[in-house]
Chains A and B, each alone.
Chain A
Amino acid sequence: MSARPTTPASPKNFQIKGPQPGMPLYGCEHVQRLFNQDQATTNTSVQHYKAILRNILDLPAMQAQTAKAMDSGAITTSLTPTYLCLQCPSILSEEDLAKHGSRKSHRFYVDSRSGALYCQMCEDIVWDPTLEELRQRKIATGTFTPRRKRKQDEMLAADPIKDDPKYITNNTTLTSCKANGLRGIYNAGATCYQNVVLQTFLHNPILRNFYLSDRHSSSSCDIPYCLSCAMDDMFQDFYAHENTNGYTAANILSGFWISEKKAFENLVTTKEQDAHEFFQFLAEELHERNGDGMRPESGSEHSCNCIIHQTFYGKLQSTTTCQNCSGVTNQVQSFLDLSLPLENLAQKKGKKSGSGSKATSMTLQECLEEEYIKQDKCEYRCNSCNSMQQARRQTSIKMLPNVVSIQLKRFEFKQGRNERAAKIETPVHFPLTLNMLPYTERARNFNTKEYPEWGRAATYDLMSVVVHVGEIDTGHYVSYCRVGDQWFAFNDHKVELASKSEVLGAKAYLLFYIIRSLG
């Protein structure tokens, strides 16, 4: 039990969470008694609880899942939960709980699968505010220290606005409990490709916090037809008004029509367009409205700190190694999204499986692995060799963004005699929780098994899915967004409940994953 310190000596006295309105001070009367014995008992209990959580969450599961039977002394490892005594280092099976309790008068046990606290006297799991905060923070961030106190992790993008999105409604003033951000957006005539992207923005906690904390206020901005102001107005309408009818995104639309972005000129039509391009357009437009006014590429060290950069932008590093002289070139590039070429990957996977034809389905992780773990060959001009050489190139993620946006490239333009765009229907299975660590530069250079906290810091939860349904030119866009644990389906003005299986079964076009450790 190396993970369970036996010496209770703590340099600092632990303070339990103070009283908060609308919240009991303790999980139950018995926890209250435990925390009111003396400071030493409180310190020991909290220290043990932390040690148990570390054991459960950081060490191999074998540790906590192995219990010693009280009578026979038999060691059993089980798949189902065991109970770790809060007051001594024992690990018990469910059957032995009562016996251990009566023999040792130990009354609190931690469930080995979740870290939840079981009170034997209540005969129930109790949710103590102090201990629950520790558990939540450990699960989310891998550490007990709040993130803002930790030193900046270079693997992750700049800290975003950190407030817990769950409590946002509790902290807003004036709003009705009905104003929850769940509204559809009317199709203004082939604009469903915009609506799906707007919904993913509306249900992005980082962007929501930004706009609801008045960081780009439409009342103090003078830019005519500013799209960021239009976003600000939209967030207000969604989160401050009781209206459940669909929203008319007229300001967004006029901002879109008036925008002078040459790069997106072809988007500005009355025809249905690509949701991914609209996402890029919106991101760039909002960057320009909220950024430092510099061209993003000016100066090699210039990194924008605007809300869009803080939310979506990460960095890729590609390393090219000359096969002749072993010289290495590193190139860093920032990215708004990761784009995965399905056609290629499906063909490659098909070849590998020996079937010769395209793979019938893939996983998101396979696609990411192909792009950000595997090497490829290329030709390039080597400076030391002063000639064209064969080289190996590998690209990995140098800095992860707070929201990882992934495009599954389903639209390919087939060249040749019958030039046409085709839609690739290959299903790509994507998870609710995604570990991005394997695709980082760090995973290439370190044995990540030794740093379990990195994996936790690189854990992302699925936030939104944009789906293109139907044929390439008669299709329609819908999206799914998650609010807390509940998923919602957005089809223009209509919002419906969606099950996780419905979401996971969708043929995704765009995926948005948000970092878990926002806390």
Chain B
Amino acid sequence: MASDPDSTGKAGVVVAPPECSALEKLSHSVLDDLLYNIVHDLVLNVHREEKMARARTAAIRIEKMAADASESSTPDSRPDVRIETDAAIYEDNRVLLKGNPLKTTKDILCPRCHLPRLLQPTDGKGAKKQDPSIIYCKKHPYIEKAGHDIYGQTWVAPGPGRGKKKKDLEKKLDGADPSSPAAAAEGTIKDRPAHVLSFPSATCSKCKRCILVTRLNNHMGACIGNSGRNASRTAAQKISNGGSNGGSQNNDNTPPGSQRGTSLPASRAASPRKRDGDEFDEDADESDPTNPKKKKLKPTTLTRKVVLKKAPSAAGTPLAATKKDKVKTSSMLNMEQKIDADDGKDLTVQVASKKVMPGKGGHLQPRS
């Protein structure tokens, strides 16, 4: 700690008043040092990220120049040329930095697509107009704007629900968005900007009907479950009987049926698919028993699958389960119990009562 009585810590921000005890001065200077350290750590993290990104940019740029300069037709082999820029030297198939990349390199290239990164969001907090002449990497800074998501999207606000009141809570969570064009959205789809989305529909895997997403759960309850209300009756019964579920947990943790989904009607033209299911009545017990459920649901558009190039070493993990692995058990994984072999010699006693293990219904334990 500095010996000068008037000084404080390294940040020089938290300063003790002149007339105070040595202890007070010390505590001020400790606090000041801690503040310095917090700022130091934050700055260091940003510095690392930024400087490394610029250094990589210098490397990407000069490698591209080297590749262009060499006439080699094999793109994978590293070209045998020497190139020098203000930021780096390409020599013997290696990239060497010249000077400080924070000074020599002003922009950041994406290490994947090699296009420049957009450095400011296009909307909301800290937004800046992007240069239309530049093709940027598609990874943009996330948008921070009330009522919008990280991509600047909003949704057509729920209109009058089917007899259900809009929850105050939802308003609170979504944040008020006075600028939302939602009010005018119904029926004026053409005027809707691209960033205003509506709720989509999905195909029921059993009856293949097209159902508005907000009704999908209710539909499947009727269509697949055919027991939507039965099951909830069973559940209610279970709660009152104190029956167990999951073999590991007591019903008292379960918040009984809370918020039912708020019906959110989407604008009509939103879905390109047929919309006959849109009018599906959630209260109708309209299952189709003739429809076989063997038909496997497949992703609709996925043709090429993205897979990591470098398949991680299989730490003994079996590959995808095969057909015969289809095991239906009311499994109770958590209750796997065994006597520890290492401590077998200590095995002089046995636990008599079936105690509730901590972590599993722990509050029921007979704890002191």
B289 CB, min distance to chain A CBs, angstroms: 14
Q: Does B14 contact A (CB under 8 A)?
A: no
Question: A409 vs B358: C-alpha distance in the bound complex, in angstroms?
Answer: 12
B362 CB, min distance to chain A CBs, angstroms: 5
Q: Does B182 contact A (CB under 8 A)?
A: no
Q: Does B347 contact A (CB under 8 A)?
A: yes
Of B15-23, B127-135, B143-151, B184-192, which binds chain A?
B143-151
Q: Does A447 contact B (CB under 8 A)?
A: no
Q: Does A454 contact B (CB under 8 A)?
A: no
Tell me the residues in window 340-368 of chain B with beta carbons closer than 8 Å to chain A beta carbons: 340-341, 343, 346-353, 355, 357-363, 365-368
Is the beta-carbon distance between B112 and A189 smaller than 8 angstroms?
Answer: no
Q: Does B37 contact A (CB under 8 A)?
A: yes
B71 CB, min distance to chain A CBs, angstroms: 19
Is the beta-carbon distance between A172 and B306 smaller than 8 angstroms?
Answer: yes
Choose one: B336, B353, B363; the contact of A334 (CB below 8 Å).
B336
Q: Does B261 contact A (CB under 8 A)?
A: yes
For the complex with contacts A224-B293, A475-B255, 11 further pairs of A-B residues with Cβ separation under 8 Å are: A113-B40, A218-B299, A222-B322, A244-B149, A257-B221, A271-B232, A272-B258, A291-B321, A330-B343, A380-B352, A421-B252
Question: A419 vs B332: C-alpha distance in the bound complex, in angstroms?
Answer: 28
Is the beta-carbon distance between B318 and A290 smaller than 8 angstroms?
Answer: yes
A470 CB, min distance to chain B CBs, angstroms: 5
Residues of B near A171 (CB, < 8 A) are 308-310
Is the beta-carbon distance between A333 and B231 smaller than 8 angstroms?
Answer: no
Choose one: A186, A216, A290, A380; the contact of B214 (CB below 8 Å).
A186
The closest CB in chain B to the CB of A341 belongs to: B363
Question: A284 vs B318: C-alpha distance in the bound complex, in angstroms?
Answer: 16
Known: A248-B213, A409-B253, A491-B174. A496 touches B149 (CB 8 A): yes
Q: Does B106 contact A (CB under 8 A)?
A: no
Q: Does A188 contact B (CB under 8 A)?
A: yes
8 A-B pairs with CB atoms under 8 Å apart are: A180-B139, A223-B323, A224-B296, A272-B258, A277-B253, A296-B331, A411-B252, A476-B169
User: Across the A-B interface, how many residue pairs have beta carbons closer than 8 Å?
Assistant: 552
Choose one: A214, A242, A287, A381; the contact of B307 (CB below 8 Å).
A214
The closest CB in chain B to the CB of A304 belongs to: B333
Known: A270-B221, A288-B331. A222 touches B307 (CB 8 A): no
* Contact bitstring A401-437, B, C-beta under 8 A = 1, else 0: 0000001011111000001010100000000000000
Residues of B near A327 (CB, < 8 A) are 346, 348-349
Q: Does A362 contact B (CB under 8 A)?
A: no
Is the beta-carbon distance between A125 and B255 smaller than 8 angstroms?
Answer: no
Question: A137 vs B56: C-alpha distance in the bound complex, in angstroms?
Answer: 21
Q: Does B159 contact A (CB under 8 A)?
A: no
Question: A356 vs B299: C-alpha distance in the bound complex, in angstroms?
Answer: 58
Question: A474 vs B259: C-alpha distance in the bound complex, in angstroms?
Answer: 4
Question: A269 vs B199: C-alpha distance in the bound complex, in angstroms?
Answer: 22
Is the beta-carbon distance between B253 and A22 smaller than 8 angstroms?
Answer: no
Is the beta-carbon distance between A297 and B336 smaller than 8 angstroms?
Answer: yes
B126 CB, min distance to chain A CBs, angstroms: 12
The closest CB in chain B to the CB of A298 belongs to: B336
The closest CB in chain A to the CB of B220 belongs to: A257
Question: A411 vs B255: C-alpha distance in the bound complex, in angstroms?
Answer: 6
Is the beta-carbon distance between B343 and A328 smaller than 8 angstroms?
Answer: yes
Of A46-54, A83-91, A160-168, which binds chain B?
A160-168
Question: A160 vs B36: C-alpha distance in the bound complex, in angstroms?
Answer: 38
Known: A176-B138, A332-B339, A493-B155. A371 touches B216 (CB 8 A): no
Q: Does B60 contact A (CB under 8 A)?
A: yes
Is the beta-carbon distance between B256 and A335 smaller than 8 angstroms?
Answer: no
Question: A236 vs B359: C-alpha distance in the bound complex, in angstroms?
Answer: 34
Known: A19-B93, A186-B214, A289-B321. A329 touches B349 (CB 8 A): yes
Tell me the residues in window 234-250 of chain B with beta carbons closer than 8 Å to chain A beta carbons: 234-235, 238-240, 245-250
Question: A270 vs B140: C-alpha distance in the bound complex, in angstroms?
Answer: 38
Is the beta-carbon distance between B307 and A476 smaller than 8 angstroms?
Answer: no
Is the beta-carbon distance between A413 and B306 smaller than 8 angstroms?
Answer: no
Question: A501 vs B231: C-alpha distance in the bound complex, in angstroms?
Answer: 40
Of A4-12, A26-34, A99-107, A458-466, which binds chain B?
A26-34
Residues of B near A365 (CB, < 8 A) are none
Is the beta-carbon distance between B333 and A305 smaller than 8 angstroms?
Answer: no
Q: Does A379 contact B (CB under 8 A)?
A: yes
Tell me the residues in window 452-498 of chain A with beta carbons closer than 8 Å to chain B beta carbons: 468-476, 478, 485-486, 488, 491, 493-497
Is the beta-carbon distance between A332 and B338 smaller than 8 angstroms?
Answer: yes
Known: A254-B224, A297-B332. A272 touches B260 (CB 8 A): yes
Known: A272-B258, A306-B318. A240 touches B214 (CB 8 A): no
The closest CB in chain A to the CB of B216 belongs to: A188
Q: Does B65 contact A (CB under 8 A)?
A: no
Interface size counted on chain B using CB atoms at 8 A? 166
Chain A CB within 10 A, most for which of B102, B314, B334: B334
Q: Does B160 contact A (CB under 8 A)?
A: no
Tell me the residues in window 261-318 of chain A with beta carbons closer than 8 Å to chain B beta carbons: 261-274, 276-277, 280-281, 283-284, 287-293, 295-297, 300-301, 305-307, 310, 313, 316-318
Choose one: B149, B218, B324, B338; the contact of A270 (CB below 8 Å).
B218
Q: Does A78 contact B (CB under 8 A)?
A: yes
Q: Does A23 contact B (CB under 8 A)?
A: yes
Is the beta-carbon distance between A29 and B298 smaller than 8 angstroms?
Answer: no
Interface size counted on chain A using CB atoms at 8 A? 194
B79 CB, min distance to chain A CBs, angstroms: 12
Question: A215 vs B315: C-alpha distance in the bound complex, in angstroms?
Answer: 12
Is the beta-carbon distance between B359 and A250 smaller than 8 angstroms?
Answer: no
Is the beta-carbon distance between A473 and B255 smaller than 8 angstroms?
Answer: yes
Residues of A near B9 (CB, < 8 A) are 79-80
Is the beta-carbon distance between B153 and A177 smaller than 8 angstroms?
Answer: no
Is the beta-carbon distance between B350 and A272 smaller than 8 angstroms?
Answer: no
Known: A274-B255, A307-B317, A343-B363. A332 touches B340 (CB 8 A): yes
Is the beta-carbon distance between B308 and A22 smaller than 8 angstroms?
Answer: no
The closest CB in chain A to the CB of B201 belongs to: A248
Question: A177 vs B140: C-alpha distance in the bound complex, in angstroms?
Answer: 9
Q: Does B284 contact A (CB under 8 A)?
A: no
Chain B CB within 10 A, most for which of A258, A270, A474: A270
Is the beta-carbon distance between B358 and A395 smaller than 8 angstroms?
Answer: yes
Residues of A near B258 (CB, < 8 A) are 190, 271-272, 470-476
Known: A22-B63, A223-B323. A28 touches B97 (CB 8 A): yes
Residues of B near A493 (CB, < 8 A) are 155, 199
The closest CB in chain B to the CB of A28 belongs to: B97
Residues of B near A177 (CB, < 8 A) are 110, 112-113, 137-139
Choose one: B37, B335, B365; the contact of A113 (CB below 8 Å).
B37
Q: Does A364 contact B (CB under 8 A)?
A: no
Is the beta-carbon distance between B217 and A191 smaller than 8 angstroms?
Answer: yes
Choose one: A173, A289, A413; the contact of B309 (CB below 8 Å).
A173
Q: Does B108 contact A (CB under 8 A)?
A: no
Is the beta-carbon distance between A250 and B202 smaller than 8 angstroms?
Answer: yes
Is the beta-carbon distance between B205 and A124 smaller than 8 angstroms?
Answer: no
Is the beta-carbon distance between B34 and A264 smaller than 8 angstroms?
Answer: no
* Contact bitstring B198-234, A, C-beta under 8 A = 1, else 0: 0110111110000001111110110011011001101
Q: Does A505 contact B (CB under 8 A)?
A: no
Known: A190-B261, A250-B203, A412-B363. A383 touches B348 (CB 8 A): yes
Question: A13 vs B240: C-alpha distance in the bound complex, in angstroms?
Answer: 71
Q: Does B100 contact A (CB under 8 A)?
A: yes
Sort A-B residue pairs by CB-CB distance and give the 7 closest, nearest first: A381-B352, A413-B252, A341-B363, A266-B235, A189-B261, A271-B257, A189-B217
Tell me the residues in window 200-251 of chain A with beta carbons closer than 8 Å to chain B beta carbons: 209-210, 212-226, 228, 230, 233, 236-237, 239-240, 242, 244-246, 248, 250-251
Is the beta-carbon distance between B112 and A170 smaller than 8 angstroms?
Answer: yes
Residues of A near B55 (CB, < 8 A) are 23-24, 127
Q: Does A70 contact B (CB under 8 A)?
A: no
